[in-house]
Every structure is written in C-alpha cells, then in structure tokens.
Amino acid sequence: MKFTVKAWSNGRARAGVLQLGSCPGPIETPSLLISTRKGLPFFIPPDLLPSLPSPDSHLLQVCPLHFAEGISPKAISSIGGLHHMLGLHDYGLAAVARDSIQCLPECNSTNKLGASFETPCGRLLIKPADYMEMICSLRPNIWATLADEVPSWVADKRNKTSVDRSVRWLDECIALGPAGGAVFGAIVGGSSMEERQRCAQEVARRNVSGFWIGGFGLGENMDERPALLNSVTDILPKEKPRLICGLGLPEEVLQGVASGVDLFDSVYICHLTLRGFALTFPLDGIGVNESDCQLGDNGSDRTKINLRATVYRKDTSPIIKSCGCYTCQNHTRAYINHLLNVHEMLAQILLEIHNTHHYLGFFRAIREAVKAGRFEQFRQQFVKSRRDHLAMAAVAHA
Amino acid sequence: MSDWAAYGTLEFLDERGSLSGISAVLTPRETKLLNGASFRGTIKGLATNQLEEIGCQIILGNTYHLALRPTSELIDEMGGLHKFMNWPRALLTDSGGFQMVSLLHLADITEKGVTFQSPVDGKPMLLTPEESIQIQNRIGADIIMALDDVVKTTITGPRIEEAMYRTLRWMDRCIAAHQRPHEQNLFGIVQGGLDPVLSYAIGGLAGGESKDSFWRVVAQCTAALPEDKPRYVMGVGYPLDIVVCSALGADMYDCVYPTRTARFGTALVPEGVLKLKHKAMADDTRPIDPTCACMGVLKLKHKAMADDTRPIDPTCACMVCRNYTRAYIHCLVTKDAMGSQLLSYHNLYYMMKIVILAYWLIMSSRNHYDPEFGISCVNHQDINRHGLVCDTYSRLSSLCLKRLVVLQILYFPKGDVPEWVCNAMEVAGIDISSCCAPLSLSQD
Ligand SMILES: [Zn+2]
Ligand SMILES: [Zn+2]
C-alpha cells in the first residue's frame, strides 16, 4: 500500500492518492468503501460491479465476523484468501472487525480477553488470536486492529480501559499478524478528548501503515464530534491514511473530511436501499436538482425520493435523467415502483447500484472541492442546500 | 430442418406475480416468434445484462399477476410490457386461467368463463375468453395464450371430454376477440387430461400424472400438431423432462424450477444432487434417487460444502462457476440475498446448457449428423453466445462427442436409465443404447 497526500484545503481537509497492489489504478481520496455482506455488496451482483465508476468503486470493506459461521478460516485459506474467494482480483479489500449494520460492538460483554460483538450468529467474543486467524486466512489489502469500542455515554473509567485494551490488542495483533496487508491501528476513546488523544499518541508510535478511527457513530452528539475528531487527527502523522467507520450521512462524511479523514464506510446507502429510497441530491452542492421530487412523495426531501410512493406509478423518467448508472440508463421510476410493490429483489439491486453510483459522485465532488482549495465553501453550500430542502419537506408534510 | 437453432431461455413471474419472478421458457428450435430481438430484461434477482450473458431469449409474463399489479391498463399506458420492463426480446403471456384455478380454490368454470373470488375484495369476478385476450392485448406480449378449461390431470370421465370441447369453443371466441393479430401471435391450447383417446394435454400437465403417461401425451400431441408451428409444453420444469419433450418434438417450456430451487440452496449439476445445507450428504454428489427426474441437483446448504473448494459444477463456464467455490456459496445460501442471486444465475445457465445439448442430441441422432459436421454447421454466433458449449466441448475428441452429449443430458453413470426415458427416446427415434450400459469416461 502506498499513500500520498496531494492537496490540503481549509486546514485539515485533504485529497490524496491510495495505491493498492490489487487495484487497477490509484484511488483518489477522500474515498468511499463499499459496504459488503460476506465480501460482496448486499445486492449488486459481482458481474455488475464493473458498471460502477472505476477505480472509485474498487475499495470494499469486509467484516471478518461475517465468516464466523458457514465457512472455516482453513477453507478460506485453501481457496486463496478473500480476493480469490470473492472473484474480485482487482479490488482493494479493507477488513474491519465490525460492520456498521449487523455486527456491532457490545461493550458490556467485552472483557480483558477479547471484544464482544452482536452478530446475526449471536453474540461473539473475539480474542486477538481469533481475529488474526481470520485476517491471516482472508488476506485483505488493509486490516484494522481489534479494538474495544465503547459508546459515547460510558463512564471515564470504562473509557480508559477501552483505550488500554485497544492498544494492548494492537500490539498483540501486530505480533501475530501476517507479513502482507497494511495494518491500520485502531484508535478509540469514546467522547473523552483526553483518552482520544492518549490513544492516538500511543497508536501513532506503533509501526502501522494507517489508522482506523473507531468509536464514532455510537451515540455521540453530532456537535461534539468535530472537536473529538480534530483532537485525534491533529496528533496523527500527516502522511498516513485515516479510515473511519460509522459516519454515513452526507453531512457526517463532510465532518470527517473537514477533520482530515480519508476513507469512509457507507451504511447510508444500505439503509436507503432497503427502505426504497433513491438519492437525488445535486452533486455540485448548489441549485435545485433537475430531478424534482413529486408532490405526494411523503418520504422525499429533495435530496432523495421514496420510490414506493404511488406518485411514481406512472413516472417514465429514470431516477435522475443525467445519471450514467446502469439503473438510470435502463429502467424507469415506474418499473422500480412496481418491483418494490411486488417485493421483487431486483428493486434493491437497481437501487443499490444507483445509490452507490450517486454517492461515489458525491465523493468525487468533495475531492474536486478539496483540490480546488474551496472545501469549506462546498461543505457549507451543500449542508445549507440540503438543510433547506429538509426543512421545506418538513413544512410541506406538516 | 436448417432453421433449427439452439435457443434457450428463461423465467417468469413468480407465484406473487412480480415481473421479474419468472419461469424458464426454453426452446431448442429457433422459430419466427422467438427470433431476432436484441437483449435486455429481467428475471428473479437477475438484471438485464446478466440475462444477456446467460443467453435468455424470451420471458413469460403471468397475466393473472400482472393484471392485479401493476394492472394491464397501466402496462398499456406505459407503452406495453416490453417498454415497461425494458425487454426488447420476446415476451409471452399466459391466459390467466390456470392461476385462477390453481391459486383460488373457489374458481367455478361455466360456458361463459372462469368465475373466481377477487383476491382484492372477495367479490365474485368472471374471466371470459374475450377478457383474457383483451388483457393480453393490453400487456402486449409477442405471444399470447387462449383461455382454456383447466382440469386436473388426475380427473377422469366425462369432465375431461367437456374440457376439451369447451377449450376448443373458447379458442374460437379468443380468435374472434383478438385485436392485434398482426403484432401478437395467439397460441391455442391443447387440453384434455391424460386419457389417450382424447389426449392433447400439452396444457394440463401440472404434476400428479406419472412420467409414463406424461411423455405419451406429449408424444401424441406433437405427432398430431402441424410441423411448422411451435409447440409449447406448459409447466414442465425438470431438466430430464425437457430433454425428453424436446426429443419428442416440443419446442418451448416454462418452469420456475431453476430459481425456486436456488432460493432453497440447491444447484443444478450434471452428475448429482447438491444441497448445500445438509450434513449427512457430505461429498456425495450422486443423485438422491437415480430414477428421480430431478437429476443433477447440488444442495449447497449442505454442511460439507463449507470446505469444498471446487466450483458448483467444474464443467460449467458460467460467471458463478468461474469465480466461486461451493464453500463460499454454502455460506451465502438461504441467508444472504447474494446466495440466491448467484445460484439462480448458475441454475439458469445450466438450463440453457441442457437445451443446447438437447438440440445437439436431436441433431446428431435424428438427422444422422456426423458429430464433427454438427459442430461446424451450428451457427457459431449462437454457440459463442452460450460460450459454455465451446468451453466445455472443444477440447474433447469428436468421436466421443455424441456419447458425451447423451451422458451429460441423461446422466445415469450406472446405465440405469429409467424405463420411461428409454421408451420415450425409442418413440422419438433416438438411440441411447450406448448410455444404457455402465461406462467410465475419461476426459483428456
Ligand atoms: Zn442512477
Ligand atoms: Zn455454473
């Protein structure tokens, strides 16, 4: 793995280039990691993945815990690791202990031996040795060390324990770890500025290729987040990449970018897709989107539309007229509305394609703003425009 | 015979009637109706260009379900079903009658039509032959079906005769009601249970009948029907049944089998049954019951699959078998959406292969084609589109080709071909004696 920062904007926001052996070309950051279930996107079939913009779409996040049941580390090893098992030879795969959807940290059951997670296969206690066995068999391009993540409301003492454990497990993971694969040291510390800084300092001292910032999206207040984020990124060496999990909404991504985070996971796309929503916000951050939402679409706020709404029953336009994604090039809102009505999985396939495509476009717009040195302006315009739309929608539906 | 080509196809509306739930329509013969159109469409959990890869030609839309949602009026307003689902290739709709009788217990059939309880408000509704055609005219498929008087194949006596004559009277009413005869081809339905005197039951074979009476009925129908019109055997789902029906001169089939079975974690393979969730079956890829017509099934739910690093079918060239192991698919099936997507893909691909192999079997056997000549004369574009045939067989010597084709289709390694298959093949004039003896085939 090779990472280079190319441009800075408004202090902390930065644009960079990430090079991974398996990717077809350098991936520009800030970048989106596509969420997966057992290594493949939730619905987008592997042969449709190449229809997404390349190389932007070539970073996937994989949760090793998804393989806790159904397939053994031995079998994964004999297949040749994740890339072979998934048939994704020219993709960059980043392993993080939790996803932000189904496998979440359960800090009350975590103990000195290992971290506890709530997963679809029940509650699992994962020790560093278990975790590293998974990582060694998966052979991802990037892997984050095991952490004791706690929600924002825990007492100071628990927070301190979480940092101590995470740093100790980091050392254990590296000691047990494979030669290949870039190690991202996990940084935790909940909502305590001091603990965050202590953890960042400890991890920055270790021999790691990058940093995984954990403990966000776990109940903290959106207003207190920037200060916490900044306290971490200010300590971290500038030349190494930072990956964060749990920030999904566009506004949250913008918060992360503003603090100097380079890589993000994408729970938002999954949530929208499962609820029948399609992203329609303008990608230039300003102006009214051409894809005006229809009156009667109660879920719409002009940044997304609810394709279940009956107003789309006879709507023969694509989700967004100018969108180049497979879905918009081939299917109408009316058809997707029908597929949703009859509970047909193709609806989710088409929506996940469009939403992923659109969100990758959002990240491209962010990069362009950073490179042009006007990230803060872009961010404010975007947030204001979306807030106006959300407010207007709230009034319209009142 | 020169216009015969290997065309297979797809799927249909599922029991809930979504556009992309589907059942396969497979045709080993190119017909005017199924010719030409370029690609795009959808099947249960599969997107248009995946269907293109698989080689699907025609989609069967379910009239009863489409009429409920999104309604035939809406489809009409959207410019027809092709446009609505963005499928420029062939489409076919059924009459809607079969679903009413099979899904709704209270259906009552009189000379006027089929009376049933509306699933929306429970009120009695009447579907007449005229209405069925009107609805299908609005949906706009390339092939539409006449309403038939459906009777269970297990029923005997005067009711069968009544159904046959009523179906004929209704067909006349359908022809008279047909508003778009130049754009849509109306298929008649041959109905009449399993009584060999009345026969012609291509439309009534919904299960229950024995395999032996089943093939005899198909043989009688195909023998009596004009050569130049395609014959569609409705509701035939299993690979072996399709091979036998093709040999007997049928051209089109539909089935929900490949995708439905995929949802339960079962893969279709040439040599056995693979259910990936069950433990006791371990590495055993033999059929559960060698006489069972569901030959070639791999149950990917099976626990032993967790360590099986082979592809689902090592001889298969599909996207799934090129990229994924049984172990990986085992951990997806019945839990994750992707599991049924990948298995559906393979299963449909497999069905396409069956149809192509059936075509070769017929060509090489019935026309006494030299197998080598057979390869060169088959339109190369077709074969390449189905890549699999080239991939699988180009390396094999032409001498063993025919034998292999037969073996691939009728996989009975111990030579224990069921009697009904032997009988059907004899009537079809296809010599399968070479596969009726145990054989070990070594591939290079
Ligand atoms: Zn789109
Ligand atoms: Zn396959």
If you measure from the C-alpha of residue B344 to the centroid of ligand 2, how many angstroms do you get, rounded to a whole number? Answer: 10
Among A64-68, A119-123, B153-157, B329-333, the range scoring the smallest mean pLDDT is B153-157
- Calculate how close chain B gets to A360, using CA atoms only, in Å: 21
Of the candidates B94, B142, B241, B251, the residue annotated as catalytic is: B94
Residues with CB under 5 A from ligand 1 (ion): A 323, 325, 327-328, 354
The pTM assigned to this predicted structure is: 0.87
Cα separation of B193 and B399, whole Å?
43
- Amino acid identity for residue B344 in this structure: S
What is the number of helices (H) and of strands (E) in chain A? Answer: 12, 17
- Beta pairing class for A13-19 and A27-29: antiparallel
Tell me what ipTM this predicted complex has. 0.94
The structure tokens listed for B117 are 């309880």
Q: Above 70 in pLDDT, residue B383? A: no
Q: Above 50 in pLDDT, residue B379? A: no
Among A117-131, B30-44, B81-95, B423-437, the range scoring the smallest mean pLDDT is B30-44
Sequence spans of domains, chain A: 2-271, 276-397
**Residue B268 CB contacts under 8 Å (≥ 6 apart), including other chains:** B239, B258, B261, B296, B297, B298, B346, B347, B350, B351
If you measure from the C-alpha of residue A316 to the centroid of ligand 1, how many angstroms do you get, rounded to a whole number? Answer: 14
B369 touches chain A (CB under 8 A): no
B21-27+42-261 maps to CATH 3.20.20.105 = yes
Among A96-100, A245-249, A387-391, B35-39, the range scoring the smallest mean pLDDT is B35-39
If you measure from the C-alpha of residue B382 to the centroid of ligand 2, how many angstroms do you get, rounded to a whole number? Answer: 18
The reply to whether A103 sits in an annotated binding site is: no
Average pLDDT over residues B287-314: 60
The CATH architecture to which A2-271 belongs is Alpha-Beta Barrel (3.20)
Among A23-32, B20-29, B175-184, B254-263, the range scoring the smallest mean pLDDT is B20-29
- Calculate how close chain A gets to B133, using CA atoms only, in Å: 23
Model confidence over A333-387: pLDDT tens digits?
Answer: 999 999 998 888 999 999 999 999 999 999 999 999 999 999 999 999 999 888 8
User: Cβ contact (<8 Å) for A75 and B307?
Assistant: yes
Task: Give the per-residue pLDDT at B399.
Answer: 31
Of the candidates B142, B254, B308, B313, the residue annotated as catalytic is: B254
Write down the H helix ranges in A219-345.
225-233, 250-258, 267-274, 326-330, 333-341
CATH 3.20.20.105 residue ranges of chain B are 21-27+42-261
Task: Give the per-residue pLDDT at B441.
Answer: 41
Task: Give the per-residue pLDDT at B92.
Answer: 83
B75 touches chain A (CB under 8 A): no
Count other Cβ atoms within 10 Å, centred on residue B374. Answer: 18
Average pLDDT over residues B1-25: 27
- The nearest alpha carbon in chain B to A84 belongs to B323
- Proportion of chain B above pLDDT 70, given as a percent: 55
What is the H or E stretch that residue B117 is in? strand B114-117
Angle CA(B298)–CA(B300)–CA(B304) in degrees, nearest 5? 105
Task: Give the per-residue pLDDT at B105.
Answer: 62
Which comes out higher in pLDDT, residue B135 or B145?
B135
Q: Above 60 in pLDDT, residue A298? A: yes
Task: Give the per-residue pLDDT at B357.
Answer: 62
